[in-house]
Amino acid sequence: MPSKSTKRNSTRAQLPEELDLEQLSKYFLLNPADLVKVNECRGAVNKAGFAIQLCCLRWFGFFLPEVRSVPTAVIELVMRQLKIAEPVDLSPYPPSENTRTGHLERIREYLEFQKCDERQRLRLLNYLTDQVINLPHTTDPSVPI
C-alpha cells in the first residue's frame, strides 16, 4: 500500500479530469510574453508540452511528471493559442531528458521560481515559525485547539 506522502504527491501532480471555463481561462491562457517564450521551442509537440508545463507551474507551483494525461480541453485551448491546427499526440513529450531538463529550467527562470533546496526550506521554516509564534493566542478553554 502506498504511503500517504506518495498517494498525496501522485494525486496532486495531475490535473483534474474536468476543468470548467473559469479554470481554463484563469490558468491556461497564455499572455504575449508566454507565447514568445513558448515559440522558442521547435515543433508542435515541444511547444504544446512547454506551454502546458508553464501553465501548470504557474497554477500548482510544480511541474507535472508527464503531460500525456492532460485533459483534452486544456490541450485544445493551448493549441488554439499556439495556432497549431493539426492534432498533436503529447506522448513523445519530452523527446529526451535533456529537452525536459532544459524546458523546465527555462520555465522556472522565466517565472522566477527557485528550486527549494535545504537553505530555502530552512528560510521557509523560520518564516512560518515566526508567523505562528506571533499569532494571537487565546486562553479561552471553550475554543478548541
Residue 70 has pLDDT above 70, yes or no: yes
Over residues 83-110, the pLDDT tens digits come to 999 888 899 999 999 999 999 999 999 9
Confidence of residue 144 (pLDDT cuts 50, 70, 90): low
More confidently predicted of 144 and 54: 54
pLDDT of residue 13: 64
| Segments making up each domain of the chain, as ranges | 4-115
Contact in structure between 56 and 15 (CB atoms under 8 Å): yes
**One-letter amino acid of 19:** L
pLDDT of residue 113: 87
Distance CA 63, CA 14 (A): 9
What is the percentage of the chain residues whose pLDDT exceeds 90? 50
Confidence of residue 3 (pLDDT cuts 50, 70, 90): very low
What is the percentage of the chain residues whose pLDDT exceeds 70? 86
Confidence of residue 36 (pLDDT cuts 50, 70, 90): very high
pLDDT of residue 136: 82
Compute the average pLDDT of residues 110-131.
Answer: 89
Distance CA 3, CA 109 (A): 32
24-60: buried (b, 16+ CB within 10 Å) or exposed (e) per residue?
beebbebeeebeebbeebeebbbbbbbbbbbbbbbee
Helix (H) or strand (E) holding 74: helix 72-81
Contact in structure between 78 and 30 (CB atoms under 8 Å): yes
